[in-house]
Amino acid sequence: MGRTDTRERILAAAVRTLATEGYAKTTARAIARVGGFAPGVIYYHFTDLDDLFVATAEFTSEARLRRYRAETDGVSAATDLLRRLRTLYAEDGADGHIAAVQELVGAAVTAPRLAAQVRVETARWLAFAEEVINRLVGGTPLASLVPVRETATAVVGAYLGIEMLTHLDPDLADPNALFDAAGRAAELFDGFRRE
């Protein structure tokens, strides 16, 4: 297996370990067990765990952002967008991405290099959200009413927080009910947009 493959395998194992064990228990030994390799392999690719967590934040964010961009490319109707977000949301949960991100954001409080990386990734997601919002409101009367930057922040924050709630307890915050309700709002929005 090549160097790049091994590096990706370590990063994917770090994501799964963070999601299932939590940050405090994500040791080199735990990651190695999840990934099925020797703990020493980690130190061939990363100087220390801190370095690995910084790379993990970048890895998981980039991988998901690539999927979000591919899936929403050119979409400008809210109903269409929401249908695609529903698929993407299911993927976020399936591979442990959102739970890992939650752990890394929490850990960033006391890890300055990780915090810097989390800020870089957040800025990328905010830029992506701004692009999508601009496509939704562009050329409509809403363009002058909607503050794109603040709406992007609110949307990214809401997505993060709602994912936290739904993964915490699907009974408290049922993703399907939320997507259904948002779907009705999207229909109203698209109707208003066409007027």
Which residues are near a second copy by CB under 8 A? 19-25, 99, 102-103, 105-111, 115, 118-119, 122-123, 126, 147, 149-151, 153-154, 156-166, 168-169, 172-174, 177-178, 180-182, 184
Task: Considering the complex, state which of residue 19 and residue 42 has its C-beta at the smaller distance from a second copy.
Answer: 19
Q: How far is the CB of 86 from a second copy (least distance, A)?
A: 14
**Nearer residue to a second copy within complex by CB, 70 or 127:** 127
Give least dist CB 44 to a second copy, A. 25
Q: How far is CA 55 from CA 33, 61, 73, 104, 153, in A?
A: 19, 10, 26, 11, 24
Closest CA to 89 of 179, 3, 182: 179
Nearer to a second copy, 6 or 128 (CB): 128
CA atoms within 13 A on the CB side of 25: 9
CB of 96 to a second copy, least distance (A): 10
- Closest to a second copy by CB, 1 vs 24, is 24
Calpha distance 85→62 (Å, rounded): 17
DSSP 20-44: HH-GGG--HHHHHHHHTS-HHHHHH
Nearest approach, Cβ of residue 79 and a second copy (Å): 17
Q: How far apart are CA 70 and CA 82, in angstroms?
A: 14
DSSP 47: S
Which residue's CB is nearer to a second copy, number 41 or number 96? Answer: 96
Question: In the complex, what is the shortest distance from the CB of residue 164 to a second copy, in angstroms, rounded to a whole number?
Answer: 6
